[in-house]
């Protein structure tokens, strides 16, 4: 009976991992569990790297957005002056305002305006300025985000044709 009792005891102990290979199996399971997870330090390092990369991307993209707005302004101003020149070729006079060059506008004789402008607003939603210059030629201007003369960055003024006055 003693032998039988010892066998049962060893079997129960072995099942619990007190003897034999099951102790090795348990430590292997522990190692396996540890290699499947990340430590707090690893997570902090990864999150920091992602934050740095995100900052670099945002800074680069902001520059692209500003350059895109600037190109849009320059192209819109040129389109306005080109449309005024086309109007002049057909009507014999320059238009008095942007409204006379928009789609659906009519010439004094009732015919359709040949060169219309699709967009009369700058990237901030303000109307472009159309006027006749001192030389009698059409000019288009954008006063920037602040809608006042002068400024830098988004508040910079643009004019077409650029007369070299810093606009």
**DSSP letter at 121?**
B
Strands 129-132 and 138-142: antiparallel
pLDDT higher than threshold 80 for residue 124: yes
What gap in Å lies between CA 69 and CA 82, rounded to an integer?
A: 20
pLDDT higher than threshold 60 for residue 5: yes
Give residue-wise pLDDT tens across range 65-79.
888 889 999 999 999
**Taking the domain 79-167, which CATH number applies?**
3.30.700.10
Q: Which two tokens stand for residue 36?
A: 């499947």
Q: Are 147 and 126 in contact (CB under 8 A)?
A: yes
Give residue-wise pLDDT tens across range 12-64.
556 555 555 555 666 666 665 556 688 999 999 999 999 999 999 988 888 88
User: Is 0.85 topped by the overall pTM?
Assistant: no
Residues 6+ apart with CB under 8 A from 139: 81, 130, 131, 132, 133, 159, 160, 161
Q: What is residue 46's predicted lDDT score, i.e. its pLDDT?
A: 95
Q: What is residue 167's predicted lDDT score, i.e. its pLDDT?
A: 41
């Amino acid at each position: 009976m003693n032998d039988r009792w010892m066998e049962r005891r060893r079997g129960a102990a072995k099942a619990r991992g007190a003897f034999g290979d099951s102790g090795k199996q348990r430590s292997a399971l522990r190692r396996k569990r540890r290699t499947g997870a990340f430590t707090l330090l690893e997570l902090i390092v990864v999150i920091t790297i992602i934050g740095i990369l995100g900052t670099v991307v945002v800074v680069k993209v902001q520059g692209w957005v500003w350059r895109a707005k600037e190109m849009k302004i320059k192209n819109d101003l040129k389109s306005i002056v080109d449309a005024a020149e086309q109007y002049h070729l057909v009507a014999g006079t320059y238009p008095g305002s942007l409204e006379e060059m928009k789609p659906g506008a009519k010439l004094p004789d009732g015919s359709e305006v040949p060169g219309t402008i699709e967009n009369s607003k700058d990237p901030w939603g303000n109307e472009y300025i159309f006027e006749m210059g001192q030389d009698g030629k059409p000019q288009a201007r954008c006063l920037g985000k602040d809608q006042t003369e002068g400024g830098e960055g988004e508040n910079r003024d643009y004019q077409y044709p650029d007369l070299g006055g810093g606009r």
